[in-house]
Every structure is written in structure tokens, then in C-alpha cells.
Structure 1
């Protein structure tokens, strides 16, 4: 981490603070903590903050506000603590999202297990027992990237493209899970199926999940998922939640 964090301007639209060359727990933790601190500072020149896996972007009009001033102020905040060891933001939510693994609802579980070198039952045990963090949200509205999983799940994307997986699909690659918010093509393997809707455009809060939230995907049967779909119109897909201190 000796070369990080880094600050650079992005044209005249703002500054980008990067905490690592690639995804890692410490870099993502720093990103989450620093973004929360920026939002708490409520600097008037920062119109919006957004984040990726390992970086924070501050939307600032660099015509109106000199870049040097923003960089200096940002640098002072960066120097104020060790962001890689900073606590995660308060008020996050832990979700338990019921999930069907395998079957015709999630047909690539066995393939993913084979690539990882475990049998399908062990794959379900490991994945359903993992507690993963919302690392960032992107690619499609409300779509969360979740991780990280144990090293055995550092499997590559498939070479062919699956034409479409449905909303609520749980897919896997490179030690991460993605929970799809709509029917979408993907190169990640479809291993689980939920009824969870993270993108709720008609709701006051259109995204149920926030970066830093955590999820567990306990295994259920296809019949149980059908019951959830018939009875739950909230979008939670039978999920329960608790606030993390």
C-alpha cells in the first residue's frame, strides 16, 4: 500500500482518491470509511460522492473551485488517520437472503463447484455460510458486488456469455458474488436464485442495499422460494435484516 492512497483530478469534474491497485479487504474498507468521513464533513464544494471497489470520486466543479485547494483539503483528511484500519461506517445492515442453490433455477452451481475443486454440497455449505460485504454498487442500477469469498472461489469468469440470467440471480467469479437486479447477460456463473429486489424504482429509497452492508445467503428449497414469491410483495424476498452497530 506504499503508493496509496493516490489523489488525481478527473478533468474538471472532480477528484478521485484511490486506495489500491486491485480489490482487497483493506482497500475496500478504506474506501468505505473515507467516503463516510467525506459525507460527514459536508464540504460545500463537494456536490456528490460515489465509490468503486477501491476508490472514491468527489464531484467538484474544478472551474469554480481550484483543484489545488480540493487536493490539499482531501490530503489533510487522508493524513488524519490510517484508513486501511479504520472501522467500517455505523448503521450498516446485515441481510439474510433465502437462496435456492442449483436446480434448474440456478443451473451453473455444479460447473462452478468443479472449477473451484469442491463438490456441489460443499460449495453450497461454503457459500451459504459466508458473510459477505457490499463492496460497491454498479454496472446496472442497484447491482451489488459482494465479497470477498475464500480463496477457493477465486475462479475466472466463464469464456462464453450466458445470454440472460433473471432478476435475483446470484452469480460467482473472482472471489465475489453479484446479486442481479434485472435480467442481464453475464460471464459469471449462475449458482443461486433469490426473490430479493435491490432496485425498487417506485420506493422512496430505490436501493435497499448500501455499500458496507453485509449479506448471508441461507439455502432453501425451490418450493420454499415459490412460497416466498407468492406471499412477499415487499421486494425483500423473504429476507430478514438487522442493524449492525
Structure 2
């Protein structure tokens, strides 16, 4: 662990040197510990792939005091930091139907696999939340099996529907809201990924794990999922 001051009201804690499940779990655990223990002294917490950025109130604490608190909280708890934020997986239902899987065929051809094989590989293993960013609730998940890893589009779409499940290189993600984006869309979830009541604005924290569960068209609709024609009728 390495702690550095950035300016008079922020410091960064480095918890590893490479992107991995272990480091991501450490970041998630550190996030929970720091939020619980130092929350009133902080104005913001920003977890990333290997670090935790802290913004604090300089009228209540300075860098040296913060540094000492962090050493006591995190260094002595090094073994515990290897644990996941939660032992439970968050299950995300996904409809991989052709109406919503805009790039599934292209990815299948790129990988030399049948669409069903791509779906099976994508939903076979859990994914770790490496970072949250780009847009509120957008969680970067990894790592994708190299057999289905595909570079993002050279020309992004102007609008990716909310709930779209996508792949870019070795990461996968769910678009929590309709935004521009260049990831390869292979399905859609009816699950609401944004949680406006949480600090991270998402139902999952950095370091947690999720698993995608394939569902059929009717279950997708029964769970509140929308198809593109339904979205268009609302506009």
C-alpha cells in the first residue's frame, strides 16, 4: 500500500500495481472500511482499478492525520483486504435475443463461434467490478474470456439503449442509461443498474462480483424489459 497527497484536500491510496481480481477486491474492501470509519471527514471517495482517491475537509483533518488513520485502518488489515466486499454474487438477467443483441452476430463471426457459444462463454463465469465511471452507475467488469474479447467500435453509436450488455476488449459492462457508446452490444437486461440512494449510484461496488443469467424473451418482458419499438413509442 502507498499513500500520496495530491493537494490540500485530497490523497490517493494505491493498493496494487496491476489490474487483477485480488487488487480489485482490496480496493472494494478498503472503500468499505474507509467509508465506515472516516465518512464524516470525507467529501468524496472515488475507487478505481488499483487505487482509492479520497477528498477530505481540510478544516477537519490534514494529510498527515489522514495518512496515519489510513495506515492504522488498512495496513493492519492487509489480509482482510484480500476478501471480497460481499460473498454473494449479484445475478443479472440478460436477454441475448437478436432484437437487442446488436453486435452478437458480428462478435460471433469475429470469434469464429456460434452465437450460442458466445452467450454460454459470456454467462459462464462471474465478473469482478473493477471500476465505476464514464456515466453514473457504469461498472467496468472483467475479465472477459479471450475467446470473445473484441475491440470496441471505431465509430461509436450515438445512442445505446439502457440495460445494454456489452463487451470491449477484455471487459464487459451494462449501460445503466441511454448514452452514446462504442462497446459491442450482445444483450440487454431488464434490471435497473442505477441506485440513486447509494454513494456509487449503482447497485454494486468496486470489488464485488456479478454473474449474467441468460433469460428468454418472455421473461425479459415480464421483468419489465423493453424492446426498441417500445422505447421509440415512449419518445
Shorter-chain TM-score tier: 0.7 to 0.9
The normalised TM-score by structure 2 is 0.81
What is the DSSP-based 3-state SS (H/G/I as helix, E as strand, rest coil) of the residue aligned with 1:69? helix
Q: 1:196: Cα distance to partner?
A: 1.2
For residue 52 of structure 1, what is the aligned residue in structure 2?
48
Q: 1:153: Cα distance to partner?
A: 4.0
Matched, 1:162 2:157: yes
The normalised TM-score by structure 1 is 0.78
How far apart in 2 are the matches of 1:175 and 1:8?
Answer: 30
For residue 242 of structure 1, what is the aligned residue in structure 2?
none
How far apart in 2 are the matches of 1:98 and 1:174?
Answer: 22
How far apart in 2 are the matches of 1:131 and 1:219?
Answer: 13
- Residues 112-127 of structure 1: pairs in structure 2 closer than 5 A: 112-127=107-122
Q: Answer with 43-52 or 97-106: which moved more.
A: 43-52
Contact 1:158 1:189 in 2 (8 A): yes
Which ranges in structure 2 are unaligned for 5 or more consecutive residues? Answer: 227-235
Q: 1:93: Cα distance to partner?
A: 4.5
Matched, 1:67 2:59: no
For residue 186 of structure 2, what is the aligned residue in structure 1?
191
Matched, 1:152 2:147: yes
Which ranges in structure 1 are unaligned for 5 or more consecutive residues? Answer: 232-245
Q: 1:170: Cα distance to partner?
A: 0.3
Q: Answer with 217-226 or 71-80: which moved more.
A: 71-80
Aligned length: 224
For residue 130 of structure 2, what is the aligned residue in structure 1?
135
How far apart in 2 are the matches of 1:95 and 1:79?
Answer: 29
For residue 38 of structure 1, what is the aligned residue in structure 2?
34
For residue 20 of structure 2, what is the aligned residue in structure 1?
24
Query: As a proportion of its length, which structure holds more helix?
Result: 2
How far apart in 1 are the matches of 2:81 and 2:42?
Answer: 25
1:132-161 Cα offsets, whole Å, 9 max, x none, are 233332221222222222233443222221
CA root-mean-square deviation: 2.8
Q: 1:60: Cα distance to partner?
A: 1.4
Q: 1:84: Cα distance to partner?
A: 8.8
